[in-house]
Amino acid sequence: MNSETPVAAVRAAAIDLDNERDVCAPALELIGDASFVLIGEASHGTHDFYDLRAELTKRLIAENGFSAVAVEADWPDAYRVNRYVRSESDDDNADDALAGFERFPTWMWRNTVVAEFVEWLRDYNRPLPDSKRAGFYGLDLYSLFRSMEAVVEYLEGVDPEAARRARYRYGCFDHFGEDSQAYGYAASFDLSQSCEDEAVRQLREMQARGFGESRTGGADDFFAAEQNARLVKNAERYYRSMFRGRASSWNLRDSHMMETAENLIEHHRERGRPAKMIVWAHNSHLGDARATEMGHHGELNLGQLFRQRHDAHVVLVGMTTHAGTVTAASDWDAPGERKKVRQSLPGSYERLFHDTGSGKFFLPLRGGGASPLPKQMLERAIGVIYRPESERVSHYFGADLASQFDCVYHLDETRALEPLEKHERWLEGEVPETYPSGI
């Protein structure tokens, strides 16, 4: 750091985009010939983040030959979208293809930006040969019961006897009525027998049969089924870990996402497709955890794992905002609301960026000398729940932003993501500035 103020240093280093038509250009230049681009977001409900991320992704696919979009979503639901964008499904449109996203929070993927992107990807792929088409995949592991169904469904079409064995093994979970957390609680405290062994046996059987099936014309379908079996094994372990502390379950989840990404990369190589991937997830998953207070408490994340395994071939892109509106719930499994985002706190990177006076800018953080940013400030993270009444405790953490990301887009005032299905509480509009205690 030199003697100039942080605000002046950021102004000097940032590329102002207020009057630029091509806001993707500076990121594309920084990305260069990287093979893996991880694009974050500071909330799961901001239109501007989703829109910019989709536009940047289109450019990377069309101009840089990227072949996979891997998102923070459940594997079977995203794979339905993958079949649609590759013209392999019976869905009539993007709305239908996204119908699998029924689990809270539906607006994360059933929204206007994602629907438009899905239609664009289908149109882009249509004239191309299989080896040139880009896919859409889920990295997450919450779909324990849906993935079991997908494994059995696949086997019923190719080997009814193997399907019978899978149904028997997965019957271990039947006592919990498709309630993953109930299973995890019972298994963690020895209230019920763990189903770990059965999940492992089923995955091993899938892997054993895969030597032949992965080389046939149905290689993609077998890969998807094998991935569902792997997800069941990892999700079983994840739900048992939920009651043993945050770091344990968080690390299992992000490690599963990395394992899924690596399997996708290898599958694309085997199928003669470019092994170049774009990842969509929250900043908290994609900004290197080692540069955050969560990392200091023992948590790792996807961005850290990508850097450790792929080093110079990875670019991490973060996004921040100062104020505006966001689609988020007040509690888990509650309806999505259009909420007012409070102005960022003093002492945060978001407030520093706001104080530059720019409405939109791109800030490169690697190469070109020392970072213009202070080494440690607050950083805001809004997930699917937003609680402005406990803003500091619920939505801020300490971080070194320049070590977290390779570049950052700051969009000073942003608006709420528009769900495909709008609950009446979303349609009521923005909450008043005095929420939650004002009259």
pLDDT tens-place string over residues 364-401: 998 655 688 999 999 999 999 999 999 999 999 999 99
Q: Quote the tokens at residue 395.
A: 């939505």
Tell me, what's the pLDDT at 367?
Answer: 60
Residue 35 has pLDDT above 90, yes or no: yes
Tell me, what's the pLDDT at 438?
Answer: 31
d(CA 221, CA 223): 5
Residue 345 has pLDDT above 60, yes or no: yes
Tell me, what's the pLDDT at 433?
Answer: 45
The two beta strands, 377-380 and 407-414, are: unpaired
d(CA 289, CA 319): 16
Q: Which residue has the higher pLDDT, 258 or 208?
A: 258
Among the ranges given (248-252, 299-303, 344-348), the one the predictor scored with the smallest mean pLDDT: 248-252
Residue 53 has pLDDT above 90, yes or no: yes
pLDDT tens-place string over residues 161-210: 999 999 999 999 987 877 787 877 777 666 556 899 999 999 999 999 87
Length of the chain: 439
Interhelix angle for 144-158 vs 180-188, to 10°?
Answer: 110
d(CA 231, CA 139): 9
Residue 3 has pLDDT above 60, yes or no: yes
pLDDT tens-place string over residues 329-343: 999 999 999 999 999
Residue 240 has pLDDT above 50, yes or no: yes
Tell me, what's the pLDDT at 218?
Answer: 76
Most confident range (mean pLDDT) of 202-211, 245-254, 280-289 is: 280-289
Q: What percent of the chain has pLDDT over 90?
A: 83
> Strand, helix or coil at 245?
coil
Instruction: Count other C-beta atoms under 10 Å from residue 77's C-beta.
Output: 23
Tell me, what's the pLDDT at 122?
Answer: 98
Q: What percent of the chain has pLDDT over 70?
A: 92
pTM score, two decimals? 0.93
